[in-house]
Amino acid sequence: MTTRDVPRHVACVMDGNGRWAARRSLPRTSGHRAAETTVIEVIEAARSAGVEWLSLYAFSTENWRRPDTEVDFLMHLVRHVVRKHAPLLLARGIRCRFLGVTDSRIPPFLVRDFGDLTTLTGANRGMTLTVAFDHGGRGDIVEAARSLIRSGVAPEAVDEREFAAHLPFPDTPDVDLVIRTSGEQRISNFMLWQVAYAEWIFPQVLWPDFRATHFLECLRSYRGRDRRFGGITPNANGEPRP
Ligand code: IPE
Ligand code: IPE
Ligand code: MG
């Protein structure tokens, strides 16, 4: 197995908005607002670099534990971002879709906006942008199990490929690179099935300060990784090829 120069699928855990604001003695919501610029820069940088799949973790199923005011702010902010940047996403040939979005607490206007952007960009083939919103990796796996059971498939017929076909957006390839900003080193229930063999990078920089240059630096670092997938890599010491 060889490593492609550019990761095919990059997934970002956009973390550190609250701390960005706290360092400036601002309310947490200012950090979320400042994240918009980063989101657009990263999308543009990924598209230009030739990344085929970009997934952004915007709101987890656990984020419902936050105060109502913050949750409400995030709902309106995401609406603003989705509507404002729809023409840009269309122009860049980016296909957009939303992973999760099952909780009835999500305002109907937002569900509509998500549907509108999905439809608007549905024929694009440049890059697939998956926004994980009200997403939880375990929840997706449980849903896949339910779907399998409903399908009546025989237990012996279930293998990894068959199981994965029941996950939401089953065309999604495995994640090659996960970037989690803010120095936190955990997965927080993000695309658990798809990150099984991902490479990980944990930049210290907080998401609102993360720029295209940081993203490109992550891609450079990825190029230096030796992905073995459990096998061995032939090396200069004359060890046998796998
Ligand atoms: C990430 O930033 C944004 C969301 C989870 C919606 P945080 O809000 O988690 O920022 P910190 O971790 O508190 O700094
Ligand atoms: C993960 O960040 C979720 C998103 C980035 C949307 P959190 O800040 O919510 O994760 P924890 O609480 O630090 O694990
Ligand atoms: Mg956080």
* Index of the ligand 1 atom closest to the CA of residue 28: 8
User: Could you say which ligand is closest to the alpha carbon of residue 13?
Assistant: 2
Domain membership flag for residue 242 = no
User: Could you say which ligand is closest to the alpha carbon of residue 18?
Assistant: 1
> How many structural domains compose the chain?
1
Structure tokens at 217: 């630096």
> What is the rounded end-to-end Cα distance, in angstroms, of the chain?
9
- Quote the crossing angle between the two packed helices 28-49 and 212-223, to the nearest 10°: 50
Supply the pLDDT for residue 233. 78
* Index of the ligand 1 atom closest to the CA of residue 13: 1
The Cα 113–Cα 240 span in angstroms is 55
Domain membership flag for residue 17 = yes
Structure tokens at 152: 């009546």
Domain membership flag for residue 236 = no
Domain membership flag for residue 68 = yes
State which residues form the domain around 169.
Answer: 9-223
The Cα 67–Cα 110 span in angstroms is 19
Domain membership flag for residue 241 = no
CATH, residue 73? 3.40.1180.10
pLDDT in tens, 20-37: 999 999 999 999 999 999
* Any ligand 1 atom below 6 A from CB of 210: no
The residues annotated with a catalytic role in the active site are 15, 63
* Any ligand 1 atom below 6 A from CB of 18: yes
Domain membership flag for residue 238 = no
Please report which helix (H) or strand (E) contains residue 120, including its range: helix 108-120
Q: Are 54 and 38 in contact (CB under 8 A)?
A: no
Grouping H, G, I as helix, E, B as strand and the rest as coil, residue 27 is: coil
Domain membership flag for residue 28 = yes
- Is the sign of the CA dihedral 72, 81, 63, 131 positive or negative? positive
For residue 242, give the amino acid letter.
P
Residue 56 contacts by C-beta under 8 Å, 6 or more apart in sequence? 11, 12, 14, 39, 42, 129, 130, 131, 132
- How many angstroms does the Cα of residue 50 sit away from the middle of ligand 3? 28
- How many angstroms does the Cα of residue 163 sit away from the middle of ligand 3? 31
* Any ligand 1 atom below 6 A from CB of 63: yes
pLDDT in tens, 164-201: 999 999 999 999 999 999 999 999 999 999 999 999 99
pLDDT in tens, 65-117: 999 999 999 999 999 999 999 999 999 999 999 999 999 999 999 999 999 99
127-135 vs 53-60, strand pairing mode: parallel
Q: Are 62 and 77 in contact (CB under 8 A)?
A: no
pTM reported for the whole predicted model: 0.96
* Index of the ligand 2 atom closest to the CA of residue 188: 14
Domain membership flag for residue 239 = no
* Any ligand 1 atom below 6 A from CB of 208: no
User: Could you say which ligand is closest to the alpha carbon of residue 28?
Assistant: 1
The Cα 99–Cα 94 span in angstroms is 16
- How many angstroms does the Cα of residue 94 sit away from the middle of ligand 1? 25
* Index of the ligand 1 atom closest to the CA of residue 58: 6
Kindly report the CA angle at 178 between 183 and 117, in degrees rounded to 5?
Answer: 110
Closest CA to 173 of 128, 236, 131: 128
